[in-house]
């Protein structure tokens, strides 16, 4: 919501100091809800079974420690990634339990993805900004490419679907 509101303010569509319009709040909420609906089971499987096998006590410990870190960070004004905090807490519960196996290959793939995310987002943002500033055609091309990319990612995710019936299955080692 902040980025969209900032864009609207910087383009002159909103006055400086304005709060996010209702449509921005609703759109952001819809996007988050849709993303959780479409990818949530896979994330639950990766966090609960992919990194390390956790049971209810470990899940409670991970959530309590992640909550503590997130609230302390927010109170001190530090920015953080909640996904990284929760992943670290889950890894910690795996390390703290006797005879638990931590799947470091999964943790390594997650860390690599996090390292690549910022420069990749910057590169995509630069290309999209260059194309979109060419006018209506640039915006249309950008929208079509984004829709095609989203469709491709959705189709790739449906090849091996994760749902309520198989979320607790241990994923095959990669």
Confidence check: pLDDT of 81 > 70:
yes
Which candidate, 14, 90, 140, places its Cα nearest to that of 4?
A: 14
Task: For 134-154, write each residue's pLDDT tens digit.
Answer: 888 888 888 899 999 989 988
User: How far is 51 from 48, CA to CA, in rounded Å?
Assistant: 7
Task: For 18-68, write each residue's pLDDT tens digit.
Answer: 999 999 999 999 998 888 887 788 888 888 788 888 888 888 999 999 999
The predicted model gives 56-83 an average pLDDT of 91
Residue 89: predicted pLDDT: 93
More confident residue, 158 or 105: 105
The predicted model gives 65-83 an average pLDDT of 92
CB 170 within 8 A of CB 53: yes
Determine the Cα angle at 72 with ends 98 and 34, to 5°.
Answer: 80
72-92 as b/e: b if 16+ CB within 10 A: eeeeeeeeeeeeebbbbbbbb
Find residue 52's DSSP bridge partners: 102
Confidence check: pLDDT of 172 > 70:
no
Confidence check: pLDDT of 174 > 60:
no
Residue 42: predicted pLDDT: 81
Residue 129: predicted pLDDT: 86
User: How far is 81 from 74, CA to CA, in rounded Å?
Assistant: 11
Whole-number average pLDDT of the chain? 87
């Amino acid at each position: 919501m902040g980025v969209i509101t900032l864009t609207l303010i910087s383009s002159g569509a909103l006055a400086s100091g304005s709060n996010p319009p209702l449509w921005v709040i609703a759109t952001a909420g819809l996007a988050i809800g849709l993303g959780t609906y479409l990818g949530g089971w896979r994330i639950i499987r990766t966090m609960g079974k992919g990194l390390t096998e956790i049971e209810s006590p470990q899940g409670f410990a991970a959530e309590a420690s992640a909550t503590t870190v997130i609230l302390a960070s927010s109170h001190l004004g530090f920015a953080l990634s909640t996904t990284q905090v929760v992943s670290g807490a889950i890894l910690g519960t795996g390390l703290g339990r006797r005879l638990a196996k931590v799947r470091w290959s999964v943790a390594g793939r997650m860390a690599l993805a996090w390292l690549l995310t910022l420069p990749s987002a910057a590169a995509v943002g630069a290309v999209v900004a260059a194309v979109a500033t060419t006018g209506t055609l640039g915006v249309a091309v950008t929208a079509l490419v984004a829709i095609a990319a989203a469709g491709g990612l959705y189709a790739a995710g449906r090849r091996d679907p994760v749902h309520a019936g198989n979320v607790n299955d241990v994923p095959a080692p990669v």
